[in-house]
Structure 1
Amino acid sequence: MKSARVLLALPGLAALAWGVVLFAEYALPLRPDVFGTVGWIIGGPILNDAVIAPLTALLGIVLSRVLRHPWRTPVVAGTVITGVLAILAFPLFWRPYGTAPMPGLHDTNPAPALALTLAAVWLAVLLTALRHRLIPRPTRVVPPITRDAPPITRDASPITRDTPPGTQDAHPSTPTDPPGTPADLPGTPADRPGP
C-alpha cells in the first residue's frame, strides 16, 4: 500500500517541481508585476479555502436540510457548479484580458456567456428534480425468494397480482420438496422400477 501511494505521489511532485522551474524562469529577475502574480498564486488558494469553500459547504448543509427529496441533490449540485463557474469567470470580470489570451475567449462579453451557462445548469437542475413527475417510475412484481418456493424458469407462466408468489404452478394436493431432497436424487426408491 505504501508503494502505491508513493507511485501516485511521484507524478504530482514532478508536476509541482516543473511548475516551480517555470515560475522561476518567469519571476527572475524580480520585477514589480511578479509580486502581483505571487499575490494571485498565494491569495487564490487562501481565498478559496478560507472563504469560498466554507460558504459553499454551509450553503450545501442548509439546502440539504431545507429542501425535500426530489429537489435536494439537484439543487445542491447546481449550487456547487454555480460556485465553480463563478470562480472560473472571476478573472474575466476583474479586469479586461484577465487570463492568458486564447483564441475566442476574449472575443465575447463574459457576462452573457456566464448567464447562458448558468441558465443551462439550472434548467438541468429543474428537469432533474421534476423527472419523477414527468416520467413515472417502472414497477415490477417480483416474488420473494424463499427456500420453499419452486425455482422460477423462463417457461413459467407470468405472475399476476392475483396469484400469491410461489403458487402459480403448484397443485394443492402435491407437496413441493426443496431441491436436493432424497426424492430428487437418482437411485432413490422413487426412481427404481417396481418388481
Structure 2
Amino acid sequence: MRTVRLLLLVLGTAAAAYGGWLLLPQLATTLPWLLGGPLLHDILVAPLVGLVGLALGRLVTDRFRRAWIGAGLLASATLLLIAVPLLWRPPSAPPNPGLPDRDYPLGLVAGLAVVWGVIVLVLVVTTIVGRRGANRS
C-alpha cells in the first residue's frame, strides 16, 4: 500500500508540475483570474451571503419556510454563477452549430422562474394544508 501511495504522489506531483509548466507562458493573463476569483468571493460574495442569511433568519421565523427559501437562494446563486461567463463575455470563436445559438438571458430567467415557482408552490401548498389541518382540530 505504501508503494501505491508513493507512486500516486509522484504521478500527482509530475502532473501538477507539467500543468504549471504549461501555465507559465500565460501567467500574466491568467494570474488575475486565479487571484480574482478567491478575492471576489472573500470580499464580496461571502459577506453578502452572510448578510442575506442573517436577514432571512430574522424575517422568516418558520424553519420549514426558511429552508425552502434558503434552497431557492442557493439554487439562484448557482444558476447566476454558471450564467455569468455566458452573459458577460461575447463568444471568442465563430459560432459552433448547436452550442452558442441559445438565448442565454432567456434561459437564465426561465431557470430562475422555475426554481422560484416550485418554491412558491410548495410554500403555498404547505400553508393551505397546515390551515386545513388546524381548522379540523
Please confirm whether the aligned pair reaches a TM-score higher than 0.5, indicating the same fold.
yes
> Partner residue of 1:131?
125
Task: Show the counterpart of 1:66.
Answer: 59
For 2:28 and 2:115, the matched residues in 1 are separated by: 37
Q: CA 1:35–1:93 in structure 2 vs 1: closer, same or farther (change >3 Å)?
A: farther
Query: In the alignment, which of 34, 54, 75 is matched to residue 47 of structure 2?
Result: 54
Taking a change above 3 Å as real, the CA distance of residues 58 and 20 of structure 1, as seen in their structure-2 partners, is farther
Residue of structure 2 in register with 1:118 after alignment: 112
Tell me which structure has the larger Cα radius of gyration.
Answer: 1
1:107 to 78, 86, 101: 101
Match of 1:21 among 18, 26, 30: 18
Match of residue 32 from structure 2? 39
- Alpha-carbon distance in 2 for matches of 1:128, 1:20: 50
User: How many angstroms does 1:17 deviate by?
Assistant: 6.9
Runs of 5+ consecutive residues of structure 1 not aligned to the other structure = 1-6, 140-195
CA distance in 2 between counterparts of 1:118 and 1:130 reads 18
Percentage identity across aligned positions?
A: 32
What SS class does the counterpart of residue 96 from structure 1 fall into?
coil
Higher normalized helix content (fraction of residues) = 2
In the alignment, is the contact (CA less than 8 A) between 1:89 and 1:110 conserved in 2?
yes
The Cα of 1:120 is off from its aligned counterpart by 0.8
Structure 1 runs, 4 residues or longer, greater than 6 Å off: none
Aligned residues: 123
- Is 2:82 the counterpart of 1:88? yes
Q: How does 1:146-157 map to 2 (within 5 A)?
A: none
Q: What TM-score comes out, normalization by structure 2 length?
A: 0.69
Counterpart Cα distance in 1 of 2:127 and 2:56: 21
> CA shift at 1:39, angstroms?
1.2
Structure 2, unmatched stretches of 5+, are: none
Cα distance between partner residues in 2 of 1:49 and 1:97: 28
Contact 1:56 1:80 in 2 (8 A): no
Distance 1:65 1:24 in 2: 50
CA distance in 2, matches of 1:103, 1:18: 34
The structure whose RCO (Cα within 8 Å, separation 6+) is larger is: 2
For the aligned residue pairs, the C-alpha RMSD in angstroms reads 3.5
CA shift, 1:119, in A, is 0.5
